[in-house]
């Protein structure tokens, strides 16, 4: 079984992802979506989180990435970054969504090493905007971001365009297309429903 299939199975089995084209969810942005993703549930599932951490390690190795540091985005990327850093025996840092209003007012927590090669970890990529914000913080500290890696990626064209313009690759364990293919093989989603979700993705424009 491929990494994408293993992760898709875990996300659906643990109900971290719901596919519901007939009764769309409403995102915070107001967008009506046939899919809802809450990967935070997985941190409470020891078997799934171990499998996913090893999948991250496997993909990092197979892609020939050689990070000096693993960085997580606050807050959902932090636990995955910690587990990946432990698996690779590497330092770990995390990027705040905003600076502290006291002390040193850090945007990055952990030891910042200029010129270090960093792998940025997200749990989920939708628009790509939060990843881009974290990437810019790391680059402003003179660290080199090798890639942005996520557990799940909606594969929105707008997100790919954002990363392409910055010259940074977005790598994911599982893309929406992988999940839909897995769901179809398990007969939990029809081909017509999968096409409906893909059409939604193509038509959705973020504000």
- Write out the CATH class of domain 3-203: alpha beta
Contact criterion met (CB below 8 Å) for 138 and 71: yes
Mean pLDDT within 164-179 = 96
| pLDDT greater than 90 at residue 46 | yes
Residues 6+ apart with CB under 8 A from 64: none
Q: Which two tokens stand for residue 57?
A: 């390690």
Helix (H) or strand (E) holding 96: none
pLDDT interval class at 27 (50, 70, 90): confident
Backbone angles phi, psi at 190, to 5 degrees: -85, 165
Omega of the bond prior to 166 within 30 degrees of 0, cis?
no
More confident residue, 56 or 30: 56
pLDDT interval class at 106 (50, 70, 90): confident
| pLDDT greater than 70 at residue 104 | no
For residue 107, CA distances in Å to 2, 75, 77, 112 come to 36, 13, 15, 11
- The domain segmentation of the chain, as residue ranges, is 3-203
Q: What is the pTM of this model?
A: 0.94
Q: What's the CA gap between 23 and 119, in Å, rounded? A: 37
| pLDDT greater than 80 at residue 18 | yes
């Amino acid at each position: 079984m491929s990494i994408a299939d293993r992760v898709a199975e875990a996300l659906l089995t643990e109900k971290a992802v719901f596919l519901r084209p007939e009764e769309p969810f409403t995102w915070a942005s107001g967008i009506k979506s046939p899919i809802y993703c809450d990967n935070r549930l997985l941190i409470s599932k020891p078997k799934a989180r171990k499998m996913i951490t090893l999948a991250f390690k496997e993909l990092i190795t197979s892609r020939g990435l050689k990070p000096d540091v693993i960085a997580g985005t606050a807050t959902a990327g932090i636990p995955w970054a910690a587990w990946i850093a432990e698996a690779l025996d590497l330092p770990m840092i995390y990027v705040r969504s905003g600076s502290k209003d006291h002390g040193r007012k850090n945007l990055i927590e952990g030891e910042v090493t200029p010129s270090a090669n960093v792998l940025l970890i997200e749990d989920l990529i939708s628009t790509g905007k939060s990843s881009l914000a974290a990437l810019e913080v790391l680059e402003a500290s003179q660290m080199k971001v090798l890639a942005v890696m996520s557990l799940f990626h909606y594969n929105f064209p707008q997100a790919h365009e954002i990363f392409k313009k910055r010259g940074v690759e977005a790598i994911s364990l599982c893309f929406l297309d992988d999940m839909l293919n897995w769901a179809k093989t398990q007969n939990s989603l029809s081909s017509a429903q999968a096409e409906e979700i893909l059409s939604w993705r193509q038509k959705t424009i973020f504000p």
